[in-house]
A and B are shown apart, each in its own frame.
Chain A
Amino acid sequence: MTKVGVVTFPGSLDDGDAREAIRFLGGEPVRLWHKDADLQDVDAVILPGGFSFGDYLRTGAIARFSPVMQGIRRFAEAGGPVVGICNGFQILCESHLLPGALIRNRSLRFVCRWVDIRVESPVSPLTAGVKTGTVLRVPVKHGEGQFVASVEDLARIEGAELVAFRYCAPDGSVDEVANPNGSAGSIAGIRNERGNVVGLMPHPEHAVDPDLGPVGGEPLLVSLLEHCMARAGS
């Protein structure tokens, strides 16, 4: 069974939900503690949502120095699949495993809402099994989800097709109305150049169980599990 490590930092909130989603989809969740650099031979790692270390100072700024991040950096350098969700995305940016940064929403208010996102690239563990252009309904819930990057970085991100997801209308068209936080280019998630590290603000783990609402997160996490199995098989 595919083992997916889910990191718990002090202040992580959606770690239990991420573990439950992996279990729901047939994977084996493994709890990883922030003080432990040993990743216990997992096949993939999820950095979950929440407010690690209270997000004091700056979102993700303290979590990046946790021992577990040393293990995750090595894991990523070896090509291991790493997914950052919400606070996890912020931590990946702070750790420079992904370019750019996440700052306060343009509205200056926290936003919890179901949104549509469009899959922009098949090159990531979350999207390898999902057709580009697919529109998925998933929730966002964050106060600091506005993706920003320098002009050069943004050009590089767009040029190298590092955008994994964009906020969009239900029909897939991208416009500012559908952008919940003012992100540059309506960017909801990006990947690294190698394609094994991906971060996104929306919460796929909260969108897998039909009893609770839409299931736009299911294809993404199924893709992650299948991607891990393919890696293990090759």
Chain B
Amino acid sequence: MTDEEYQAVVGTLGREPNRTELAMYSVMWSEHCSYKSSKVHLRTLPTEGPQVLVGPGDDAGVVDIGDGMAVVFKMESHSHPSAIEPYQGAATGVGGIVRDIISMGARPIALLDPLRFGPLTDERNRWLFGGVVAGIGGYGNCIGVPTVGGEIAFAEAHSANPTVNVMCVGLASADGLVPSRADGEGNLLVLMGATTGRDGIGGVSVLASATLEEGGEDNRPSVQIGDPFTEKLLIEACLELIEKGLLVGLQDLGGAGLTCASSETAARAGTGVDIDLDAVPLREEGLEAFEILTSESQERMLAIVSPEQLGDVLNVCREWGLHAAVIGSVVGDGMVTARKDGEVVAVVPAKSLADEGPEYERPLSPMPAPPAATDPSTLTVSLREAFFEVLGAPNIASKRWVFEQYDSIVQGGTVAGSGGTDAAVIRIGGSGRAVAVSSDGNGRYGALDPYLGAAHAVAEAARNVAVTGARPLAITNCLNFGNPERPEVMWQFAESIRGLSDACRAFDTPVTGGNVSFYNESGGSAIWPTPVIGMVGLLEDHRRAVPASFPQEGLAVYLLGETQPEFGGSEFADVVLEEVAGTPPALDLAKESALLAVLQEAAGAGLMASAHDCSSGGAAVTITEACIAGDVGVTVELPGDQLTALFSESASRAVVSVASGDTMAFEELCQRHGVPAAHIGETGGFGIAFVGAFGVTTAEARTTYETAIPNLLAG
């Protein structure tokens, strides 16, 4: 906390804060909780639309999917704790985001994990990677929420600071949402779940709001330890309480613990809360007031309950074997009052803690222009060699080693899950509907041009959802950046927000919330600007979901969109030219919108046998993935210069297969939307033949694709 911030507290209270109050302000006014550096920029994002039921500011965003159902979703970062203790850091990230979803009154139905690490050739990176993946699996698998997606990328810029994001999607009835508010004077605060200990004290301020420097392991006590079993009980107990209509309000305890949960619920309701810290079940004796108020012990929820329903609430908790204790009540004075040993230890206005944190318009300074790109046509490597280099690059190669460690099928809704799909497709009960979910972000594009990087992330997420046939509805995000006190980082952030805004407006996919993770840097070296987008879309009929892989032989194969020689920030440039240079591919939002429309309409009319987004690695990778996953060969003749045709990453493209009887209708549809559709070949045969370039057997392509990451992990 700065001197100015301290003076603002003194001004609000009209006196010096005591030690406990200061601790409360210090966590609530941390960057992580107060968004003090990002607020001015976040306000410019589009957040409204008829589909949005709850926008930014609540625990999670909510969109309407019709039939009285709502999808609740949010993404968060747990990068800082994961850099120190990868297993628990990642595991508790999963736990935290799941509680955000429960606290809205929704059942969590899917998890996605966007991850960024340094190269796996480094032993420490392998340790972080293995630990994070095991932690996500260890927690997610144990709570019965399928992990169905997420993307993984590797870059040196993430060696010191891995990026660990996690997104959760939940399902609720639109009129059954539970407010995260402490309404009604005299109602009771019930703390449910795990006991409170010294773990995670100051997690938001010590870890998430400062850079990690040498000796970061000393911060291990600030990393929390997860107990997924208790989380599973919390899920079931909370959902039963909601279903029985026993709750006035519900809020998770995450960053800044009880201080955050109590002040936010009170501030939203315009009330106050009176908390008896002696009533909080503790893990060990002798905790001080500030420790109880700021502990980030996991697996806890705060319920607001009317006195008449308290008995029923405690019964439900008891049946699930869950601790539950009345720790205070709702009062009318607008203050968070905490008592211990019969004495008042803190009296602070709830709004001041929750809403009136500092806000900075930090200086911006454009980063230097990136180096010019090499002309790839000067290259001597053969197209075939380049193909195997790109296909076997860790960013492109199969992530089977990862996704097989996640339970992707529990809850019986996974129509398309991890592996070989662009977006996960989860069907919704017996309604026939499904949600399609994807997370995306391209680090190299962002490193070269943060505006374009962010816009591309939104476009790719929308495309990934649309290739399944779904209509993109809305996004959440996690904005991962370096130290905001550095003008260059702040400029990257502002540019990314501008890119996000423009793309979201173009696709009519408002931002329903998200998370900002700053201070991802150490030793003066920051991660690349990494805005990660989580997109949710709606499929009216899950039986119409379009797969990404070629399902059979004898289909006509089309490449949609235009291909230009655009190699800046491409996978080809990274692994063959060994550079991140130049400018990323251009993005024409109108053309992207036209492609999205074609994909949805064609899927709705049943015209596409498969559709796969064309992005990292270019058309060669897109076509090969569709062959490997479908175990079907293909013969295609890509138009124009073969290097460009195979490896350029021009935006707004997709590879679609169409049954012979549907080609006329499909071509007509593309024409109507002004989307170029090149009939490039047919599925079938033993291998993957790029006529005019080279051919490979599906088996050798599969070997390269599947073994790259296991081989790297073997050291």
Contacts and interface: CB of A to CB of B under 8 A. Distances in A.
A110 B137 contact: yes
B415 A111 contact: no
Nearest to B413: A212
Nearest to A49: B410
Contact of A50 (B144, B321, B406, B542): B144
Interface in A7-29: 10-11, 13-14, 16-17, 20-21
Interface stretch (A37-45, A51-59, A193-201): A51-59
A109 B134 contact: yes
Contacts of A112: 141, 403-409
A211 B415 CA distance: 7
A141 interface: yes
The secondary structure that dominates the B interface is mixed
Given A51-B142, A54-B142, A54-B229, A10 B321 contact: yes
Interface in A124-154: 139, 141, 143
Interface string B391-416: 00000000000011111111111110
Nearest to A203: B409
A222 B529 CA distance: 54
A75 B601 CA distance: 55
A55 B232 CA distance: 12
Interface string B142-166: 1110000000000000000000000
Contacts of B542: 211
B217 to A, nearest CB: 24
Contact of B412 (A51, A55, A109, A206): A206
Contacts, number: 83
B338 to A, nearest CB: 32
B229 A53 contact: yes
B360 interface: no
Contacts of B137: 110
B412 A110 contact: no
A141 B142 contact: no
B45 interface: no
A109 B229 contact: no
Contacts of A16: 411-412
A209 interface: yes
B513 interface: no
B229 A10 contact: yes
Contacts of A51: 141-142, 228-229, 232
Contacts of A54: 142, 227-230, 232
A192 B412 CA distance: 29
Contact of B405 (A13, A111, A205, A206): A111
Nearest to A208: B412
Of the four ranges (under 10, 10 to 19, 20 to 34, 35 or more), the interface on chain B belongs to 20 to 34
**Most B-side CB within 10 Å, residue of A10, A53, A113:** A10
A207 to B, nearest CB: 9
B628 to A, nearest CB: 16
B63 to A, nearest CB: 24
B427 interface: yes
Interface string B530-570: 00000000000011000000000000000000000000000
Interface string B674-700: 000000000000000000000000000
Contacts of A211: 415, 427, 542-543
B233 interface: yes
A11 B232 contact: yes
B127 interface: no
Contact of B415 (A14, A21, A141, A212): A212
Nearest to A18: B412
A209 B411 CA distance: 13
A212 B410 CA distance: 12
Interface in A89-109: 109
Contacts of A139: 409
A54 B407 CA distance: 16
Contacts of A56: 229
B273 to A, nearest CB: 30
17 contacts: A13-B142, A13-B410, A14-B144, A109-B134, A109-B404, A110-B138, A110-B405, A110-B406, A112-B141, A112-B408, A141-B410, A203-B409, A206-B412, A211-B415, A211-B542, A211-B543, A212-B415
Interface of A: 10-11, 13-14, 16-17, 20-21, 49-51, 53-56, 109-113, 139, 141, 143, 203, 205-206, 209, 211-212
Interface of B: 134, 137-138, 141-144, 227-230, 232-233, 320-321, 403-415, 427, 542-543
Given A51-B141, A211-B415, A212-B415, 13 more contacts: A10-B229, A10-B320, A11-B232, A13-B142, A13-B143, A13-B407, A14-B144, A16-B412, A17-B412, A110-B141, A203-B409, A212-B409, A212-B413
The 6 closest A-B pairs by CB, nearest first: A54-B229, A13-B144, A17-B412, A51-B142, A141-B407, A110-B405
